[in-house]
Chain A
């Protein structure tokens, strides 16, 4: 279980009706939003902390991911009074870093989201979440407040929200880049709708933060019939950040969801990532690369939920752990009785680079009908000494050899990243590999 060094709060923080009401008013939301938030709050109040008897919470203490009641109150009242200096400063820094060498569209809650001209011309619309009643139909469809304690907390108290709409038939050449810097307490919520037959790439980048930062994010992706969404989640928090991220794609008829996760940062990081295959012909692919070292704790959960027949899903999750880091992977494939002719595959491979690292894997299947083809595989192993020996005999030093082997190990995920993010992620991988091989 979580080591003593992890800073945990004592119980789930209290959120009051007054706090939520003030927050919603200051953000200038549509009245429907407040009603929705209050229903989520009722859920939050009713839910107890998840515990170890649930597979998904077997290895991570939920208290290590929650903000304290005081920090949350401070944050929500500061957002309510309109002063978000801390985020604004970080945002400005990120802007500077990205604007010089990044041709992509930039969106950033807390700093007045901006779109470049090309995206605006294509009809992409961005707006703070739920300022018009149009969001009423969309919110909660992929991540209902009832989904769990963290979804309920975010549902009641998101303090930075954004809706992105990509109109039907639009093909975006450049990715939309959404940067989410971590503040002391961050509760960002994204709602992205990809219209019928539209094609888009969205990069969701979690960065920044400090030792005591707590992040509870929710991302809802609605992928309309025939649409294609490439979603890339980059988690490059500073050391010490504790965060829980929920990402769900709802994939309609003949739509395609391709998701890639690259996780490097933070102290305790939990991601609940999934695709809901809701229409015939829907296809979902989840890929992940996780590189951990020092005393990092990663917990990744994937879900492929086949609600409709004639659907396909595939998961390839690669984890390499060094130092005294620890990874937990739990993956569930569920095929409902009304989803015949479904195919689902899942693979989780773990590479242990040091004696102090550890990896747990629970790939689960729940198959409720027979016209299916399903399989999963999981492995945990160290670097093969024969490979090291071979590379050594070709003149490579141990560090170089390890780096090469790890790159080969994660290649199946890296190769499938959209070109526009490949460089960014490759740089993060290189930086981490240098740090890792130094620390083995």
Chain B
């Protein structure tokens, strides 16, 4: 690692993730969105009437809802909804054998290391390219347990009764403008159902890739963990570097029934021309546990606040997140914990790093409803600033309507400590290495929670981003 590499940061992304494939698609919808486009998507997918109607109603909500005004208005207003392709079908069929994936797409995912990871440590993989899942597999032994892991479109076709029961119950279309847009034009995503008392010991993974310019990716993920079951789901995302912007707006609904445990890990590394506006929310019933592990490294603007509604007694919610913002990036991330039942507990740990002219914001909500006695919640936000033009915001909200609770919030903002740097240098470590060590120490609580392969990958990403941060 050398200081003169500071200018090559983007080139690294370009080489590793930022390449683009030639577009050779089966179907590419024209730019813009209206009822016709919504109708076209639904017909193309041969969906049942209830889903078609759901989409149309959601589109009306999208048109009616104003843009949110509490975030980065300048960036939000720069989104041109008419300049986006809402649906691109890259291939005719979904492969279950890696050899059947079209060559150019296969090469893409091979460059990203997907099949390799699958062989090593995953129980199942979904790879989504533009609007559709192009490759999907699940290990036989997991399937034999009765675990359903498929892309969302197939889920709707093959398990309509489960999908219809839970669809939109956690995030209704009128929740916010982007959830409404997703509800209208969604395509792809994962559907997981874990039967009662079943533990999926190794993680399931999805990988999302945007390739085309001015593309909108609207995947929809629904995970239901039946009583006493357990699953760990991991998603990763990348895109090529273009001069124009693309939009990624997912809706993720998790339902953990009594005693179930869901861990949802995201390593978001979109290129810096992607708007990442995502709604993620979980329902935790009695004794259930929901954990969101959320890493935001890429994108131009991310607005994402994973939420847990603690609906049953003794449910537990946890959000562990890190955000990294370099110049030209705004990571507006956070967490929400709604304590709607007694003796529920939650914990939020948020770490952020702003470098150069980067900006990170923590935006959170802890709400304890009347009657939810015995709740405990703890929020910790740590921000690290590297560079005099970097910016960090903390916007936590605590709404406490019950007396017998314990609510704690703490936040700290500081720059890399000179004393620590000085000490490490006095032990013969060069300044770049020293900085990296301090940053690695700072995000260690997060990295510790990742599967080993991801931890290595994340460390490598941070190393890349930190290169040349001295001077």
Contact = CB atoms under 8 A, between A and B. Distances in A.
Contacts of A381: 405-407
Nearest to B404: A382
A200 B365 CA distance: 41
Given A340-B388, A362-B396, A375 B411 contact: yes
A40 B412 CA distance: 39
Contacts of A365: 383, 392-394, 411, 413
A361 B377 CA distance: 14
Contact of A377 (B395, B404, B410): B410
Interface string A335-369: 00100100000000010111101111111111111
Given A337-B388, A367-B393, A358 B400 contact: yes
B401 A358 contact: yes
Contact of B411 (A353, A376, A379): A376
B50 interface: no
A361 B388 contact: no
B449 to A, nearest CB: 24
A291 to B, nearest CB: 16
Contacts of B391: 366-369
B394 A376 contact: yes
Contacts of B412: 374-375
Interface residues of A, number: 36
B27 interface: no
A370 B390 contact: yes
A278 B35 CA distance: 55
B466 to A, nearest CB: 15
B398 A362 contact: yes
B70 interface: yes
A360 B414 CA distance: 26
B386 A376 contact: no
Nearest to A382: B403
A431 to B, nearest CB: 23
A413 B388 CA distance: 34
Given A362-B395, A369-B385, A369-B388, A350 B400 contact: yes
Nearest to A351: B403
Interface string A9-32: 000000000000000000000000
Nearest to A379: B408
Contacts of B413: 365, 367, 372-375
Nearest to B370: A358
A365 B409 CA distance: 13
B203 interface: no
Contacts of B403: 352-355, 357, 382
Interface string B55-94: 0000000000000011000000000000000000000000
Contacts of B396: 361-364, 378
B319 to A, nearest CB: 18
A380 B398 contact: yes
Contacts of A53: 69-70
B176 to A, nearest CB: 13
A372 B414 contact: yes
A124 to B, nearest CB: 41
B139 interface: no
A55 interface: yes
A371 B387 CA distance: 8
A396 B288 CA distance: 42
A370 B395 contact: no
Contacts of A355: 402-404
Interface of A: 53, 55, 58, 337, 340, 350, 352-355, 357-382
6 contacts: A363-B409, A364-B395, A365-B393, A367-B385, A373-B414, A377-B410
Interface of B: 69-70, 354, 370, 383, 385-415
